[in-house]
Amino acid sequence: MITAHLPSGYILGRTAQRYGVHPWLMPAALLGAVLPDLDLIWFYLVDNRAIHHHHYWIHIPFFWFVVWLPTMLALRRWKPRWLPPARAFFAGILLHLLLDTVAGDIAWGVPFTDQLFHLFTVPATQSHFVMSFILHWTFSFELMIWALAIYLYAKAKL
């Protein structure tokens, strides 16, 4: 995914709001849906694109599992009011990783294997990788996510 992480977070946040009322549900879902791509700052500014950013720890599902479990247990014990936004946040991260798996590589097998998984391969048919992704049929998934997010936003404003 190139453009649809934020709108997917919006869809997730709107869905979460149907099951509970908490002022931080939407911000948590939006943040979780885009947080893994903050590694792009390191990728471009520090690492000089030496290693694809999906290899960084922030794109490793096992890392998030290790963070999720104690966070949810601690919140359940000491701050149960914050469980709904925490669920939305971690669901946003999972959604991000699932969407990246469509045409990008995600290391779902860590710590057992470092093999990367993807559903579809986007061949380099254009001079820039972004154009190859935009012109590939899988980009239609992103357009559908955008359309649904815009629809839900417009519906909420009417």
- Do residues 142 and 1 lie in contact, with contact meaning Cβ atoms separated by under 8 Å? yes
Range of the domain at 108: 5-157
What is the percentage of the chain residues whose pLDDT exceeds 70? 100
**Domain total of the chain:** 1
Alpha helices in 2-157 (DSSP H): 5-19, 25-34, 39-45, 61-78, 83-103, 129-134, 139-157
Q: CB burial class (10 A; 0-12, 13-18, 19+) of residue 73? A: exposed
DSSP reduced 3-state for 106: strand
* pLDDT for residue 48: 85
> In this predicted model, what pLDDT tens digit does every residue of 36-71 receive, in sequence order?
999 998 999 999 888 888 889 999 999 999 999 999
Total Cβ atoms within 10 A of residue 59 = 23
Q: How much is the pTM?
A: 0.94
Q: Which residues contact 78 (CB under 8 A, 6 or more apart)?
A: none
> In this predicted model, what pLDDT tens digit does every residue of 108-132 receive, in sequence order?
999 999 999 999 999 999 999 899 9
Q: CB burial class (10 A; 0-12, 13-18, 19+) of residue 3? A: middle
* pLDDT for residue 140: 97
* pLDDT for residue 149: 98
How far CA 126 is from CA of 104, 134, 143, in Å, comes to: 17, 10, 20
DSSP reduced 3-state for 21: coil
CA 40-52-127 angle, 5° bins: 90
Please give the average per-residue pLDDT across 73-78, as a whole number. 98
CA 119-121-125 angle, 5° bins: 155
